[in-house]
Amino acid sequence: MKRILTVLIIWIVLAAVFSSGAAAQTFAISPIYLSKEAAVGQQVDYTFLIKNNEQREHNYSFQILNLQKEYISSLDNKSFSETNFSLAAGNSKKIDLKLKIPENSKADHLSFRAVLKKEGTIAKSLPLNIKINKDYQLTIADYPRDLNLISGENQSFSVTVGNIGTETLKNIKLKFELPKKWLIENINPKQMDLKAGEKGSFNVKIFVPSSQAAANKEISVIAYNQHSQTKILIGSITVKKNPNYFLVILILLIIMIMGTIYYFRRFGRR
């Protein structure tokens, strides 16, 4: 009986130790799906929550393993290397992982791991998997990479988008990033549908403010819909000053000079 009681006490102690060790930290992931599906050009987001449930501070490190760097667009606003941090007792930390499936991705699926270490020892390791759906693939087939614009005027150019996947893509739109005060006055059509293998062109009217000095600028564009997004394309823009601007300045300068001469001739010095 004494031996049974001793074994029972040891079992209870060991169970308590292991249960406390299991609760030492919380490592949760949002969304909870470890396997996901994404199209090329699409962004996939994960959020990890690490919580220190122990009574003292610990040093942690978080790392994504077995994933090529070109798929990582952001890891907790830091580089691809390990993210190191300390957590006081009861504190937690959220880590955001953003993945971008490249438009020219050759992989059909991605298998990688999210690893959490505590004091240099692996505490948790989560397997993650993304199936890349290549039925939806959008690309920009033609785009003016060198464009000459005149300040104070608008100009039109075209952007050709292609559906290189196997399924119809609906509600395709363009999105631009422009220098300050520049405007996209019109995009025609606003959106379009493309069947597999089809191409379509958007006519874009851009306006450069008259205050824009002669310079070399850049604008970027992407094509996107709910299933796919192209890579960002950057075009080089050469801005020239409107010749009428210099004519107006010259006329104003002549008027000022003539006014000054007239004033001195009329009133002279007193």
Q: Do residues 149 and 238 share a domain? A: yes
Lowest-confidence region among 1-15, 54-68, 208-222, 244-258: 1-15
Q: Which domain holds residue 220?
A: 138-243
* 15 lies in some domain: no
Range scoring the smallest mean pLDDT among 20-24, 81-85, 191-195: 20-24
159: nearest Cα among 61, 103, 231, 233? 233
Higher pLDDT, 145 or 250: 145
Domain contains 46 = yes
φ and ψ of 134, to 5 deg: -95, 10
Same domain, 29 and 62: yes
Query: Which tens digits make up the pLDDT trace of 43-76?
Result: 888 999 999 999 999 999 999 999 888 888 877 6
Instruction: Look at residues 113, 133, 153 and tell me which one is the last residue of a structural domain.
Output: 133
Measured in Å, how far apart are the chain's first and last C-alpha atoms?
A: 127
Q: Mark whether 56 and 71 lie in a shared domain.
A: yes
Last residue of a domain, one of 110, 133, 156: 133
In a domain, 227, yes or no: yes
What's the structural domain count of the chain? 2
Are 97 and 51 part of one and the same domain? yes
CATH of residue 142's domain is 2.60.40.10
| Co-location of 145 and 128 in the same domain | no
Bridge partners (DSSP) of residue 128 are 112
What lies within 8 Å, CB to CB, of 240 at 6+ separation is: 148, 149, 150, 151, 214
Residue 206, token pair as written in the block:
């851009």
Residues 98 and 150 in one domain: no
Among 109, 133, 157, which residue terminates a domain? 133
Residue with the two structure tokens 């004091």: 119
Say if residue 102 is in the same domain as residue 163.
no
The pTM of the full predicted model, rounded to 2 decimals, is 0.61
Cα 78 from Cα 76, distance rounded (Å):
5
Residue 20 lies in a domain: no
- Predicted confidence at residue 9, as pLDDT, reads 43
Q: What is the DSSP letter of 230?
A: P
User: Cβ(102)–Cβ(231) under 8 Å?
Assistant: yes
Do both 128 and 185 map to the same domain?
no
Residues 6+ away with beta carbon under 8 Å from 114:
29, 46, 48, 62, 63, 64, 65, 97, 125, 126, 128
Query: Does residue 5 fall inside a structural domain?
Result: no
Q: Residue 83: what pLDDT?
A: 85
Task: Decide if 221 is inside a domain.
Answer: yes
Residues 59 and 102 occupy one common structural domain: yes
Q: State the average pLDDT over residues 154-182.
A: 93
Residues 99 and 167 in one domain: no
Domain-located, residue 210: yes
If asked whether residues 47 and 126 sit together in one domain, one would say: yes
260 is a domain residue: no
Average pLDDT of the chain is 82
Bigger pLDDT: 55 vs 5: 55
Flag whether pLDDT at 86 surpasses 50.
Answer: yes
Does 198 share its domain with 172?
A: yes
